[in-house]
Structure 1
C-alpha cells in the first residue's frame, strides 16, 4: 500500500487517506469526532500513528498540520446572521422537499406539480426542469459528495435517476406497487435505495438501472431509510411501528435483515445512523424517540418529553447530540451520551415538521406550519432568528455544507434562499 495524498474533512472533523493498493486507488477515513480546539495536536498525532501504518515518519508533520487546521476551523465562531436573499417562484404547486449538492452551488426542489427543478444557488437561476414523472415528486436527493446525479421518487411508483449536469434521465426504476416516499444513495454512489407505501424497500444499481434487491418484512409503509457511512448497512422505518437493519448490501448486492427494532407504539417518522454507525435514532408518532445500538439491535434509551407526535429527528454530524421536532410546536436537544434533554426550543405557533443541525453543530434549524423557520443556539436554547416571509407552512429546510446558506421550501409554491 502506498499513500498518495490527504484530504481534509471539516464536518465532521476527519482526515481522508487516499492510497494505492494493487494498482487501485482507495480511501479510508480517520474520524476525529471528539476533536476540540483544546486537544494537544502532537498527542493526537501519536494516537493516530499507533493505529494507522500508512502514516510514516515522513508524513507525520503533514498530519499534524492538518489537525491544527481542523482546530482552527473549530475556533471560528459561528455568529453568522442570515439575510433573506431571494424568493424563487419555484413551482405551480406546493413544494415537497429541497436538497443541496455538496458544494452548495446548486440545489433541487421537488413538487406536487410532478417536476424536480435544479437551481443555481448564487443567482437563483433555474438550470434544469426534470420532467417525466406522472405524479407528485416527493423524495429527492443528490449523490453527495459527488453531486453529478440526482434521484427522484414519485407517487407514480417510480424512481428516476438523472444527470445533474444536463438534466438527462439515465434510468427509470420500476417495480414498486405504491408511492415512493423516501430514497437515498449509498456513499459510494453505486446503489439507490427506495422506500414505498407498498411496505418494501428496494435497491437499484446506479450503473445498469437494474433492481438488485427487494427488502421485505415490514407490514406497512416504509416511510424513512438511511445508509450508514460505510454503505454496507441500511436502516428502514415503517408505519408498522418497527425499524429494520439490513446488512451485507455492498457485498452481496442483496440485503440480509439482521435486526428488527421493536418497542415503539406508533408509526416511525424518521430513522438515522450517527456518523460512526454505532447508534441509530428513531422518531415516532408515539411521542418518543429511541436510541439503539446498531450491533446488537438493543434499545439503549427512550427520549421522552414531547406531548405530541415526534415528526423528525436527527444527529449532529459528530454524533454527540440529537434534535427532535414535534407536533406539539417544540423541538428538543438531547445528549446522545447521557440521554438527557439539554434544551427545549419553544417559540413556534404550530407543529414543527423538520429539524436539522448546522454542519458545525452549534445551530439548529426548524421548519413549522406557522409559516416560519427558526434558528436556535444549541448551547443556550435561545432563538437567534425567525425566518419570515412564506405565506403558508414550511415543511422543508436545509443548510449547505459550509453552514452559511439556508433554503426553506413551502406549501406556498416558493422556496427562499437565506445567506
Structure 2
C-alpha cells in the first residue's frame, strides 16, 4: 500500500493537489486522482521518521499554502503504523449498542472533536441525535425537523474555521439544517429544494466549505456553507435523487481557465459530483460547469431494489462487477481499507447492508467472492446505513470498526 502525493498537470495553480479528509479511512482515496502525476512511497516498509521527513520535504519544496491540513503529518505517521487485516475482523463481535430512536435509523456519521469521539444519527422519528462513544450515551437530541431525517454529516469546516461542533441534516421536510451540538441549538437552515432532501455530502476541497444535496425534486444543489447560498442546480435526473457524493476524480470537461465560475475551488476546476437516482441511473457531474459527463446504466430497479451490488469504472462508464447474494433491498454500501491475506494485489473489501437483515462483505478482486456475512436476528433489524470508523483505544491506537443503523432504531458497533 502506498501514500500518494499528486500534482495536476492541467491545474492552473502552482500548488499540488491535496484533498481534505476527516480520518485515515479516506487517506488514499482523498489524495489519488488518475489525471495527476504521482509520487509514492511504501507505507509498510518506510519507518515513521522517514515518513515525517518526506512530509516536511513536501511542505518546504512545494510551498504548500492553500487547503493545508495541520494534522497531515500525524495522520500519515498514524496510518503507516496500522494495517487492517480482514482475517482479524472475522473474529470480531458486537461491542456496543446505542438505543433511543423510535423508528428507522437512516444515517450515521462519526467524528472526533477535542479528543472526544461522537456518532450522530438521523431517523424516521424526525430527530437528530448525538452519541458520546467513549461513555456510551446519548448527549443531544434535536427536534427541529417535521418529517423523517434521511442524512446526517459532521461539518469539518465549522470546527476548523470557527471551532464549532456542527452537524448537518437533511429531511423530507425539504430542508437542510445545521445544529451546534456543543451549545444545543439550531444554527441555520438551507431552503431551496421543493421536495424532500435525501443525500448530502461536504466537499473534500476547501476544508468542507461546500455542500451538495440530492432531492426528491429530481435536482442536485451545491451550497456555500459560509454564506448559506445555493450556488448551482444540476438538472438531468428524471426521478428523485437518493444519494450524492463529491469526488476528487476530475472530469476535464472544461480546461479553459477563462471559463471557470466564481466558486473559487482550491487547486483548479474539474471536481465532480456523483449521484444515484430512482431513475435507475448513477450520474457524474462537473462541479464548475454543472454538465453531466457520464451516466451508469445497469441497475434494473431503483438502483438498490434489484438486490445487487455493482462496481463501475468511472472513466469508461462500464460495469466491472456485479455481486449477488442479498435476498432483499440493498440499502447501503461502503468501502473499507481491509487487506486480505494470500490475495494478489492490494485487495479491497466492500460491505453492503440490506433489508434481509444481513451485512455482506465482498472481495472486489477475487472473482466476486463473498467473504463474510453478519446476520441480525432481531425483528425489523434490516441494515439501513453503514460507516467504517476508527475507534481510538485507551492506548491511543485505533481499530477499524463497523457502525450501522437498523430498522429497529438501534445503532451498533462491530469490531
- Normalized against structure 2, the TM-score is what? 0.63
- The answer to whether structure 1 residue 372 and structure 2 residue 358 are counterparts is yes
In 2, Cα distance between equivalents of 1:376 and 1:15: 19
Show the 5 A alignment for 1:8-407: 10-13=24-27, 36=42, 52-54=61-63, 73=82, 77-78=85-86, 79-81=88-90, 82-101=92-111, 105-144=117-156, 146=159, 148-187=165-204, 188-207=207-226, 210-213=228-231, 215=233, 217-218=235-236, 221-229=240-248, 248=261, 250-251=263-264, 283=276, 304=298, 308-309=300-301, 311=303, 326-334=304-312, 344-360=322-338, 362-380=348-366, 381-392=369-380, 393-401=382-390, 404-407=400-403
Cα gap change, 1:376 to 1:211, in 2 (>3 Å): same
Report the secondary structure of 1:105's partner residue: strand
CA deviations on 1:97-128 (whole Å, 9 max, x unpaired) are: 12222579211111121111111224430010
Cα gap change, 1:387 to 1:338, in 2 (>3 Å): farther
Cα gap change, 1:416 to 1:69, in 2 (>3 Å): closer
- Contact 2:242–2:277 (CA under 8 A) maintained in structure 1: no
Q: Which has the larger share of strand?
A: 1
Report the secondary structure of 1:251's partner residue: coil
Aligned twin of 2:414: 418
In 2, Cα distance between equivalents of 1:372 and 1:45: 43
Report the secondary structure of 2:400's partner residue: coil
CA deviations on 1:362-391 (whole Å, 9 max, x unpaired) are: 321111010121233344323223242342
In 2, Cα distance between equivalents of 1:31 and 1:389: 49
Aligned length: 340
- Normalized against structure 1, the TM-score is what? 0.63
| Pairwise CA RMSD | 4.9
Report the secondary structure of 2:356's partner residue: coil
- Contact 1:376–1:385 (CA under 8 A) maintained in structure 2: no
Q: Which has the larger share of helix?
A: 2
Aligned twin of 1:273: none
In 2, Cα distance between equivalents of 1:301 and 1:205: 26
In 2, Cα distance between equivalents of 1:192 and 1:118: 21
- Contact 1:359–1:403 (CA under 8 A) maintained in structure 2: no
In 2, Cα distance between equivalents of 1:336 and 1:176: 28
Cα gap change, 1:54 to 1:122, in 2 (>3 Å): same
CA deviations on 1:142-161 (whole Å, 9 max, x unpaired) are: 11474821011222222211
Cα gap change, 1:404 to 1:159, in 2 (>3 Å): same
In 1, Cα distance between equivalents of 2:59 and 2:189: 48
Cα gap change, 1:365 to 1:390, in 2 (>3 Å): farther
Aligned twin of 2:67: none
Report the secondary structure of 2:263's partner residue: helix
- Contact 2:203–2:210 (CA under 8 A) maintained in structure 1: yes
Cα gap change, 1:248 to 1:349, in 2 (>3 Å): same
